[in-house]
Amino acid sequence: MLKMLLNAIFGSQNERELKKLAVIVDSVNFFETQTAALSDEELKGKTTEFRNRLGGGETLAALLPEAFACVREAARRTIKLRHFDVQLIGGMALHQGKIAEMKTGEGKTLVATLAAYINSLEAKGVHIVTVNDYLARRDRSWMGPVFEFMGLSVGFVQHDMPTTERRQAYACDITYVTNNELGFDYLRDNMVVSKDDRVLRPLNYAIVDEVDSILIDEARTPLIISGPAEESTDKYYLCNRIIPHLKGRNITEAEEIEAKYKGTDLSTGFDYIVDEKNHSIVLTEQGVQKSENLLGVNNIYDDLKGEWVHHITQALRAHNLFKRDVHYVIKDGQVIIVDEFTGRLMPGRRWSEGLHQAVEAKEHLHIAEENQTLATITFQNFFRMYKKLAGMTGTAMTEAPEFWEIYKLDTIEIPTHNKMVRADHADVIYRTEREKNDAIINEIESLWKKGQPVLVGTRSIEKSEKISNMLRRKGVPHQVLNAKYHEMEAQIIAQAGKKGTVTIATNMAGRGTDIVLGGNPTTPEEAALVRDLGGLHILGTERHEARRIDNQLRGRSGRQGDPGSSRFFLSLEDELMRLFGSERISILMQKLGMKEGEEIQHPWISKSIEGAQRKVEAMNFDIRKQLIEYDNVMNKQREAVYRLRNEILEGEDISQTTKDMIAESVEEKADLWAPAKAYPEQWDWTSLEAWLHRTFGLRLELNEDARIHLSSPVLIELLHEKTLEAYEKRRTELTPPFFHHIERMILLQMIDTAWKEHLYDLDQVKKGIGLRAYGQKDPRIEYQKESFSLFEQMMHRIREATVEYLFRIQAEPQQARRIAPAASFEKQPVAVGVKPAAVAPAVNKIAAADTVAPIDKLGRNDPCPCGSGKKYKKCCGK
């Protein structure tokens, strides 16, 4: 109530923000007359002038009004488009690092030029991120002349581009690129063995187009670079064979609530329970016993990794939760994933954790080997690495809380240039899907005869094909988007506004392409004719689980003040209605005595549906939050490993890193075999001498009397001295330049191998960590503890392997690039003597974290990069 009162007096927060930006718009308009009077050369020279002023101490905010006026004039002269005032506001929001919600057809592509230009003045690179290669190529071609006119370089990145061209594209002032290519290039850059092989510059500023699609819809899918894992595929086939013999039960939300109230067990008599709402499957006790009998296994929980349980569960998910032509298609003997939000095929992508193999077994296809993760990152953590981030989309306000909580990005709704006049009709609901489909076909046929263009939105390829077949039988000509080629998709969508056109598409297909009334290219006569017919009509065949996706479908109509209309057709058998409380609506329809084919329209129903959507949105938000909580632990470790890797790549002399590792190994072994708390007679001299001989080719020549009078600090000082002498001798033997090259290669190889194993270990921990909840433990805290322990072990492995291989490898200078860890040689032992002085000075302990983050970059009170949650001085820095 108080919030409503304050909004009534002072206006909403969005209105207040718009008022502030409107003042700057007046300043831009003031400069417009001045820039219009400049010659082409004078206008182009403004970029150099702005950069000089920036270098002289002026801020980007001070330069903004004049800079925006210059971009507006450059666009008018090159592509014959002038930024509207509302587009200037959009550009300011992007420059401020906000998300701008701009309706379809309001010119988001043009708006991006404003923020991209002013931020490119810093010469640190600007990335304009799109959802597919076609849009990256199209937008660069379309907007490139504006930037080039102003003296800036513009590049774009495509999936099949070689490394050299990618590097050149990223070196440009402005780069158009997809989110996938950007993420994978970042991961690949952190796998190279030479700094010259990297393609990206430091991440500076990004404008994310269709920001909701990239930062929310795709946030649940991490980017993974993988290689084949050493695992047999037999278990996938075996588990797939037993699935038909297991009896399952699909429970609805209403059944679950009723069972809790009555205290009944829904699993009685069933082998597994399917929870479609949470997309999960649980084996019952009966199911466990039956599975063991069918597989001939005594106990499926016997193996430590829980592989049998994992494989059975994935096989059940493949059969019960993943449907052909909905979640995937079979093409050329392969399972191709279908993007649930766009309906597009995603060749090359595979489900992880053995799910893809389980689907292949279900479809009786050849099972590809399960892949092992080599490098991974989520879009959430990747985009948070940018110094400044902004985004734009037609639908952002419903997700504003998530944008702020995860990315700390404010969302602002930009007003339209012309008033929106689209008529959004109330939903109509039927009892069965068959009745609904019949009504949809009748509606489409009626509008087609009238000549009004119709865009039919479906949720899956299967539904698209069903509607298409029904229209074909009715003799209604139509286009179906196959979602395989973005260019063809854009062409079909562009013609969807033509008189008498019927287009069937998945809900979000064709985003980024305007539907112009009368077709594209159009004539004023054709456009006027379609306007008179009511404009483009949007017909939704089903509500999506997120309101935002429905709004995106509606947003295809009514661009820039054009007329249009929309209506959704629903049934009680739709997935959303079935899973989230359709019982109340069903009871209402029965009370009304509705006959077959009759529809119902009521505001109460629309509210009920919106409530169901809110439930799904909240559930999906929780999933994304949980994903980032787990990934945040790995992210700190990833940053630490990549930082160490970059120091090795960029350092001219990395000998100090190696010397630190040698010193740490010496201290660790001394603590293990010659602890300060024990007497020298109790030390394990045999193990210590064996390690020195095996690793450094050294022999400890000390008589019994000398050993008895040694203290642990003196021994450590002695070992430090002699191992470093061995290091220098090794360096001289192989010549310093060649030795340092080998040193660099070994360090990188050890880091990459250990990191790959560490990612595999984390995957294994994550698979079973949820079971800790049964022991009244928080799985996330347990995962943090486990991952911290594994990280320490990984750093130990890197140190030990590096020291061992550096002293054992045998290579000629010309073999430098063919170094293999397996290569080794035996050195003749060298005697180690005792210093004449009885007591050596104490040696400061060198912490393992020194190799991860140098002291000048990491304060002792900073959080430790290993992810333990402790301060650096209390953890790896002690």
For the domain covering 230-369, report its CATH number.
3.90.1440.10
Q: Give pLDDT tens digits for 499-516.
A: 999 999 876 555 566 788
Q: What is the pLDDT of residue 305?
A: 54
Examine the pLDDT at 303 and tell me if it is beyond 90. no
Give the H or E element holding residue 282.
Answer: strand 280-283
Q: What is the pLDDT of residue 170?
A: 98
- Give the three-state DSSP class for 384: coil
Nearest partner of 250 among 324, 340, 317, judged by Cα: 317
Distances (CA, A) of 842 to 323, 682, 713, 838: 68, 22, 6, 13
Highest mean pLDDT among 229-233, 446-450, 692-696, 740-744: 446-450
Examine the pLDDT at 331 and tell me if it is beyond 90. no
- Mean pLDDT, range 610-635, rounded to an integer: 83
Q: Give pLDDT tens digits for 253-266.
A: 777 777 777 777 77
Q: What is the pLDDT of residue 868?
A: 54
Q: What is the pLDDT of residue 385?
A: 94
CA dist., res. 198 & res. 163, Å (int):
8
CA dist., res. 606 & res. 61, Å (int):
45
Output the six-digit token pair for 260: 């809790």
Residues in the chain: 878
Q: Which of 301-310, 473-482, 744-753 has the lowest mean pLDDT?
A: 301-310
Q: Give pLDDT tens digits for 48-67.
A: 999 999 999 999 999 999 99
- Mean pLDDT, range 695-719, rounded to an integer: 87
Q: Give pLDDT tens digits for 712-740.
A: 899 999 999 999 999 999 898 888 888 88
- Mean pLDDT, range 129-147, rounded to an integer: 94
Backbone angles phi, psi at 807, to 5 degrees: -90, -10
Nearest partner of 384 among 213, 208, 224, judged by Cα: 208
Q: What is the pLDDT of residue 510?
A: 54
Q: What is the pLDDT of residue 861?
A: 55
Q: Which of 302-311, 442-451, 705-714 has the lowest mean pLDDT?
A: 302-311
Cβ-contact 206, 392 below 8 angstroms:
no
Q: What is the 3-state secondary structure (H, E, C) of 103-138?
A: CCCCCHHHHHHHHHHHHHCCCCCEEEEECCHHHHHH
Examine the pLDDT at 227 and tell me if it is beyond 80. no
Q: Which fold has domain 628-874?
A: Helical scaffold and wing domains of SecA (1.10.3060)
For the domain covering 2-226+381-413, report its CATH number.
3.40.50.300
Q: What is the pLDDT of residue 810?
A: 63
- Mean pLDDT, range 222-243, rounded to an integer: 82
Q: What is the pLDDT of residue 25?
A: 95
In this structure, how many other beta carbons lie within 10 angstroms of the beta carbon of residue 734?
19
- Mean pLDDT, range 396-423, rounded to an integer: 90
Q: Assess whether the region 2-226+381-413 and the region 628-874 belong to the same CATH fold.
A: no
- Mean pLDDT, range 654-674, rounded to an integer: 91
Question: Terminal CA-to-CA distance of the chain, rounded, Å?
Answer: 54
Q: What is the pLDDT of residue 218?
A: 82
Which residues are within 8 A (CB) of 691 and not within 5 positions of it... i.e. 6 or more apart? 669, 673
Q: Which of 179-188, 278-287, 518-527 has the lowest mean pLDDT?
A: 518-527
The domain limits of the chain are 2-226+381-413, 230-369, 423-601, 628-874
Residues forming a β-bridge with 82: none
Give the pLDDT band (50/70/90) at residue 132: confident
Find the helix packing angle between 46-55 and 60-78, rounded to 10°.
170
Output the six-digit token pair for 7: 């909004």
Largest Cα separation within the chain, whole Å, is: 108
Q: What is the pLDDT of residue 230?
A: 57
CA dist., res. 585 & res. 581, Å (int):
8
CA dist., res. 23 & res. 88, Å (int):
11
Q: What is the pLDDT of residue 319?
A: 94
Q: Tell me how many degrees the CA angle 720-722-728 measures, rounded to the nearest 5.
A: 100
pTM attached to this predicted model: 0.77
Q: Which conformational region is residue 408 in: left (phi greater than 0), alpha (psi within -120 to 50 degrees), or beta?
A: left
Cβ-contact 226, 372 below 8 angstroms:
yes
Distances (CA, A) of 522 to 530, 602, 825, 854: 11, 39, 77, 63
Q: What is the pLDDT of residue 522?
A: 65
Whole-number average pLDDT of the chain:
83
CA dist., res. 28 & res. 8, Å (int):
30
Give the pLDDT band (50/70/90) at residue 820: very low
Q: Give pLDDT tens digits for 1-44.
A: 445 554 555 567 888 999 999 999 999 999 999 999 999 999 99
**Which strands form 272-275's sheet, in the order they lie side by side?**
248-250, 272-275, 280-283
Q: Which CATH architecture has domain 423-601?
A: 3-Layer(aba) Sandwich (3.40)
- Mean pLDDT, range 802-817, rounded to an integer: 66
Which residues are within 8 A (CB) of 434 and not within 5 positions of it... i.e. 6 or more apart? none
Q: Give pLDDT tens digits for 832-878.
A: 333 222 222 222 222 222 222 332 344 545 555 445 555 544 555 44
- Give the three-state DSSP class for 753: helix
Backbone angles phi, psi at 810, to 5 degrees: -125, 120
Examine the pLDDT at 295 and tell me if it is beyond 60. yes
